[in-house]
Structure 1
Amino acid sequence: MKSSLSVFKTIILALVAITVVIGGIAIIKAPTSVVLITGGASIILLSLIWGIKWEDIERDILKNIGHMLVPILILLAVGMLIGSWILSGTIPFFVYYGLVLLKPSVFLFATCLICAIMTLMCGSSWATIGTIGVAFMGISMGLEVPLHYTAAAVVVGAIFGDKVSPLSDSTILASSIVDVNLMEHVKHLLYTTVPGLVISLVLYLIIGFQFKSGTANSETISIIQNTIMDQFNLNPLVIIPPLAVLILISRGVPALPVYGIGIFLGCLISGIFQKQSLLDIAGVLNSGYTFDTGVDIVNQIVQQGGLSSMLSTVAILIAAAIFGAPLQTAGVVDVLLDKIKQFSKTSRSMMTSCLAMHGALFTIIGSYYVTYSVLGPMLKTLYTDYGVHRKNLSRTMEDTGTALAPMIPWSVTGAFIATTLQVPTGQFILYAPMVYLGIVFALIYIYTGFGIGKLYTGEKVKDIKQEVS
């Protein structure tokens, strides 16, 4: 049974939660999981003092962790998948031949596409930006292409891949936190993400016209390609695992079995083509690819993956469950939802409010791990109440979280990008239209009804387009 705390006490709990999160993340800069657990502990302490039973809080914590079990298994599978695909030569294959495509006039265009493909393959925009992205910045200097153009192309490609890759931890988190099927979430993201990518690619082609006279003579490219060729057997058959995964996903096979097949194929090819032993394969599945290639930039590209690489994100999921449970038990979530309902008479205004709320909280905190974990569980019931699918919420969170992150200099991702690429946010962000156009397209869809997933429960609910008219 839920507690019946007064509105004043629920507001105090909400303020404590917000203060701990903002103070821990933005000011102290403590690890996200520790901040969430600290916030949860603070709320639990006050709730117990005000008469809420521990049994009720414990029940909601266990219930929330139960909801996180499948996403946790997916994250662990993704860690093993990335490790096996590096060991098999699959990801190095795409890096090698992606670099072959570079031509001066289409450098920015190719940079964006290669970064998108690499992030789709490995699921991490940070890995792409910190490896291939850094290499492209060096190539850019050799071609005399302004660095802010190249930084923008790297960011657009990496963030696009991060948003729509079923291997991305942020994509898995955004969908799982609001109980949306992973692949349904990915498909729904295409509405707001693909138009921005297309506009960005056209922009890079136009900008690239002025660099036709350049010559691609980069020592960095040669070093990366030669090292990859020396370390891996780049037989075309190494692309079988991702092809199999894409086919199975397109046919609606659940994520966990698909990843299991992808891991098996990666391990099989590692043994056949890369001549790796069972012990080496097991080690990579656990700890990721740790072999030294002798070249730092290539090490940064391939030394990834493994179960251990996902443990910090798993900790965030568990911490989010601990943080959110007492807020639910104490009735804070119910009070927040009631306030939104008072001001939102239609699903359009409700979705706009949620978009603005998440965007504002992310701008303050700068970590989508926190904002997804905090607002996702609170807001998801609103979408059902208003007759629209929760995948609209998971998409909204990514449009105002994952995609928005490069625009916020003090966000975790924004600071990483500016530091790693050595280009200030303000210099490149204008040339990365996909980053901010996702919000524009999201608002257009909300107010036209196009691209808005409807919910059908028994009878067909009122179409959002009827509200527009």
Structure 2
Amino acid sequence: KSSPLSDSTNLASSIAETDLFAHIKNLMWTTLPALVVSFIIFIVLGTGHVGASAAELHHLAGLLTPTWWTVVPLVLLVGMAWAKIPAIPTLLVNVGVTGAYFLLNHNMTTLADVLLNGFKTAAKNDMLQSLLNRGGMLAMMPTVIIIMLALALGGLLTEQKILQAVMMPLANRIKHGAGVITGTIVTGIAANFMIGEQYLATILPGQLWKQAFDRVGLSRLALGRSVEDSGTVVNYLVPWGVAGSFAAQTLGVPVHVFAPFVFFSLLSPVFSLLSAWTGIGIKKRDA
């Protein structure tokens, strides 16, 4: 939600036509409160519950032998992001450096197999295998298919102007900033449940409400934050959503079971609405 390399963060900033890092900075007004409250709730709920023992974790740590090289991609990633280098070049450079290092000890055939089928460790530890034996482009195909279907449905809804027909008259009638932000958040949540795809749930509200933000004198940064707080994070709460389906497949837990515990996704729209109606953290449009 707040990474300069995140697709949704770059998309929201682009739709709102704002500087990426100014957008990320402005996100903190709602992101940090939602994060802190979620953290506190998880501490309270986790008190008294016992997970993995210290012995198991020490045993797992003994199977891992990190070297100085493991820090290089992370430092490179953070450094390029700090230098405000765009996401795609940053990712390509990291993929290239990591791939080159991999080829020092493996051949191109092995690298191609890892890219296609994912990594497979030779370690016999079940926990380590469950952590590392994953990935690859083929493993992403179920999610890619859901994205394709969601985009197709979104294309139909966009072409038929269903959301526009419902929300545009409302957008044109609202005269104050808090109402415009509220409308954007409601549209983003509705788009998530109607389409199931977070990209379109970011694009459509941004396009629908952009002129309304200008009309009431709000900064486009407020628009970008509103679509992030609704279009991006709420998708994890949608059983037929791309993000929700991915999380369900990865965790082996149905969306309706884990959704009540996704506090960050539940709280982000709440803090966005609180910000809108109190005026805290809301930027006005420059004259």
TM-score normalised to structure 1 length: 0.48
Does the 8 Å CA contact 1:366/1:410 hold for their aligned counterparts? yes
In 1, the alpha carbon distance for the partners of 2:240 and 2:147 equals 24
CA distance 1:257–1:454, change in 2 (3 Å): farther
Match of 2:9 among 171, 183, 190: 171
Alignment pair present for 1:266 and 2:98:
yes
Question: Which residue number corresponds to residue 279 of structure 2?
Answer: 449
Match of 1:347 among 150, 153, 177: 177
Does the 8 Å CA contact 1:224/1:297 hold for their aligned counterparts? no
Alignment pair present for 1:185 and 2:16:
no
How far off is 1:354 after superposition? 1.5
In 2, the alpha carbon distance for the partners of 1:315 and 1:213 equals 38
| Aligned pairs (5 A) from 1:21-420 | 163-211=1-49, 215-216=53-54, 218=56, 226=63, 229=64, 234-271=66-103, 275-277=105-107, 283=112, 287=115, 290-293=118-121, 297-298=130-131, 300-303=133-136, 337=168, 339-342=170-173, 344-418=174-248, 420=250
Does the 8 Å CA contact 1:238/1:269 hold for their aligned counterparts? no
- CA offsets per residue over residues 372-427 of structure 1, 9 Å max, x none? 34333333333233332333333222322332233344544445545654555555
* 3-state SS, counterpart of residue 403 of structure 1: helix
Name the larger-Rg structure: 1
In 1, the alpha carbon distance for the partners of 2:55 and 2:66 equals 23
How far off is 1:201 after superposition? 2.0
In 1, the alpha carbon distance for the partners of 2:182 and 2:211 equals 15
The amino acid that maps onto 1:293 is T
* 3-state SS, counterpart of residue 443 of structure 1: helix
Does the 8 Å CA contact 1:387/1:455 hold for their aligned counterparts? yes
CA distance 1:178–1:317, change in 2 (3 Å): farther
* 3-state SS, counterpart of residue 231 of structure 2: coil
How far off is 1:280 after superposition? 5.6
The amino acid that maps onto 1:303 is G
Does the 8 Å CA contact 1:320/1:373 hold for their aligned counterparts? no
Does the 8 Å CA contact 2:177/2:218 hold for their aligned counterparts? yes
In 1, the alpha carbon distance for the partners of 2:165 and 2:208 equals 8
CA distance 1:412–1:271, change in 2 (3 Å): closer
In 2, the alpha carbon distance for the partners of 1:290 and 1:410 equals 25
How far off is 1:186 after superposition? 3.4
In 1, the alpha carbon distance for the partners of 2:218 and 2:195 equals 28
How far off is 1:438 after superposition? 0.7
The amino acid that maps onto 2:72 is I
In 2, the alpha carbon distance for the partners of 1:368 and 1:311 equals 13
TM-score normalised to structure 2 length: 0.72
Question: Which residue number corresponds to residue 32 of structure 1?
Answer: none
Does the 8 Å CA contact 2:196/2:241 hold for their aligned counterparts? yes
In 2, the alpha carbon distance for the partners of 1:403 and 1:173 equals 13
How far off is 1:279 after superposition? 6.6
Question: Which residue number corresponds to residue 133 of structure 1?
Answer: none
In 2, the alpha carbon distance for the partners of 1:312 and 1:385 equals 39
CA distance 1:225–1:298, change in 2 (3 Å): farther
How far off is 1:430 after superposition? 4.1
Does the 8 Å CA contact 2:31/2:268 hold for their aligned counterparts? yes
How far off is 1:278 after superposition? 6.0
How far off is 1:446 after superposition? 1.0
CA distance 1:350–1:248, change in 2 (3 Å): same
Gaps of 5+ in 2: none
CA distance 1:297–1:177, change in 2 (3 Å): farther
CA RMSD in angstroms comes to: 4.4
Aligned residues: 281
Does the 8 Å CA contact 1:388/1:454 hold for their aligned counterparts? yes
Does the 8 Å CA contact 1:182/1:255 hold for their aligned counterparts? no
- CA offsets per residue over residues 443-465 of structure 1, 9 Å max, x none? 11112222224332xxx3xxxxx
In 2, the alpha carbon distance for the partners of 1:176 and 1:318 equals 19
In 2, the alpha carbon distance for the partners of 1:425 and 1:334 equals 30
How far off is 1:369 after superposition? 3.2
In 1, the alpha carbon distance for the partners of 2:142 and 2:260 equals 33
Percent of residue pairs identical: 25
Does the 8 Å CA contact 2:118/2:136 hold for their aligned counterparts? yes
CA distance 1:415–1:319, change in 2 (3 Å): closer
Gaps of 5+ in 1: 1-162, 461-469
